[in-house]
Amino acid sequence: MLLAFAEKTLSGLVFSALVVGIASYFGQASIFDPIILICFIAIAIAFRRNIDLVSICSVFIAERALEELMWRFLENTIWFKIPSYFILIIICLFLSNGLIRLYSISFLTLAASIEAYWYFTDYNAPFVIWYCYLLTILIVIRRFLRMRVFWLIEVNPKWSPTPLALDSQLLLANIGFIVSASLMAFEYYVRHLTGFSDLVVVYNIFPYFNHTLSMFMIYMIIVQSIQHLKAIELEA
């Protein structure tokens, strides 16, 4: 009973923090994103005995950390981009399949070709490779969500992970993130390859759309957490 009460309390705090963050900093990535990260960490700690919730939250914590790391170390130089595009294409080739593989490899090949064109024409290329990295990270996350149960059983059969409806919901959000990253890159290409230099529709919508998806993810994870608490109460 005490454990259930503690989990309920922490869940309430996470939800409250999310509401405050949404109301105060929606669209402001520098503040909103850390709030979302804190929510993932808090849920993972509160439900550390639930391997499904812990594994899901952990992968999104790792995603945020990787994005932060990439942002700090990416370089907008051709000598950095050449191996980068090669590595990104290899990752997508091995960690995706079907239409997602076809799309991601086509997208990255197009991106690399445009970068080459800009280089040979001495054009001051924008920092589009960031969105290519985002796309690839999202492909990796998608792979984990699809293989989560199988991989966890392989690591430790005693964990007994189970497929959740939450997995499908998060995969849906993942597609949304992939679309938004792709559209951002495409808008950059249109802006720098055509005469539409003032086109910033996606640029202006991007943070709000992504934050909406993040809110959806947190909400669905909280719903799953509540279901877990109800299951604990029934067993008590």
pLDDT at residue 233 is higher than 70: no
d(CA 135, CA 87): 13
R_g (Cα) of the chain, nearest Å: 20
| pLDDT value, residue 178 | 96
Question: Is the pLDDT reported for residue 96 higher than 70?
Answer: yes
Q: What percent of the chain has pLDDT over 90?
A: 55
- The letter for the amino acid at 184 is M
The pLDDT assigned to 228 comes to: 73
Nearest to 185, CA basis, from 111, 101, 106:
111
pLDDT computed for residue 109 by the predictor: 96
pLDDT tens by residue, 187-209: 999 999 987 888 999 999 998 89
Domain parsing of the chain, residue ranges: 2-235
pTM of the full predicted structure? 0.87
Q: For residue range 17-68, what is the model confidence (pLDDT) as tens digits?
A: 556 655 555 656 677 888 888 889 988 988 888 899 999 999 999 999 898 8
Report pLDDT for 11.
57
Reported as a single tens digit per residue, the pLDDT across 98-125 is 999 999 999 999 999 999 999 999 999 9
Are 119 and 153 in contact, with CB atoms under 8 Å apart? Answer: no
Percent above pLDDT 70 for the chain: 85
- In this prediction, residue 6 has a pLDDT band, given cuts at 50, 70 and 90, of low
Across the chain, mean pLDDT equals: 86
